[in-house]
A and B are shown apart, each in its own frame.
Chain A
């Protein structure tokens, strides 16, 4: 398979994540969509790494995964503490920074 097909699939997956962030109001699903976008970027990294014939792209995938893991841990902790204060995870109802 040529590189183009992988990049097109990556673009489609990324777009699905963008649409998800735009249309869903549930904070946890918005988080899942961010994971989807990070994964689409990973797919592009690996595809380009393969077509260049070197491993650098896969090293970057490793870094992206680390950042994603840290982001999920922090983000879910924030969502849990927001839920404790407001009893909701709807991002339209959580509209002030003051706890």
Chain B
């Protein structure tokens, strides 16, 4: 086993355990903290894949901004005392887990079998370990994907206006 395989197993195991912890903890704060662990492990996987820019954005945007927003809302609503019995019980839970295992089996089957005869598999053997730099991503983003990039700003603007409208309506109703 070389270093890359050991690191893959380490980061992969940490992200999977973190993901399972997210859905099994009772208290939302613990779930949020487990999700941060998962995000950091995935940033490690991104670095293993040579995607340094994505790894940095993952830590800053996901583990930083988005999870702070989650923690802020959980603390604002003080959910710890309210949501203790917040899980599906008994038969339905077992049914959901069986469905999930079937879904995972399908996903693994597709991941293993669809690669055999596609362009991806043949490209894999020819492409050496290429590290994608921020320069490459920026070049694509501002040439080929310029229009989607501009539309992204519209999405953010819509989100901004949406949040302001939601919050403002509430405060008007109270007054």
Residues of A within 8 A of B (CB): 1-20, 22-26, 28-29, 31-33, 35-36, 39, 42-43, 46-56, 58-59, 61-63, 65-74, 76-81, 83-84, 88-90
Contact = CB atoms under 8 A, between A and B. Distances in A.
A75 B148 CA distance: 23
Nearest to B174: A84
B136 A55 contact: yes
Contact of A50 (B101, B130, B166): B130
B123 to A, nearest CB: 5
B159 A62 contact: no
Interface residues of B, number: 87
Contacts of A52: 119-120, 123-124, 127
Contacts of A63: 148, 152
B117 interface: no
Contact of A16 (B19, B32, B76, B82): B19
B96 A89 contact: no
B111 A10 contact: yes
Contact of A39 (B38, B139, B145): B38
Interface of B: 4-5, 8, 12, 15-16, 19-20, 22-23, 28, 31-32, 35, 38-39, 42, 45-46, 48-51, 53-54, 57-58, 61-62, 65-66, 69-70, 73-74, 76-77, 79, 82-83, 86-88, 92-93, 96-97, 99-101, 103-104, 107-108, 110-112, 115, 119-121, 123-124, 126-128, 130, 132, 136-137, 139-141, 145, 148, 152, 155-156, 158-160, 162-163, 166-167, 169-170
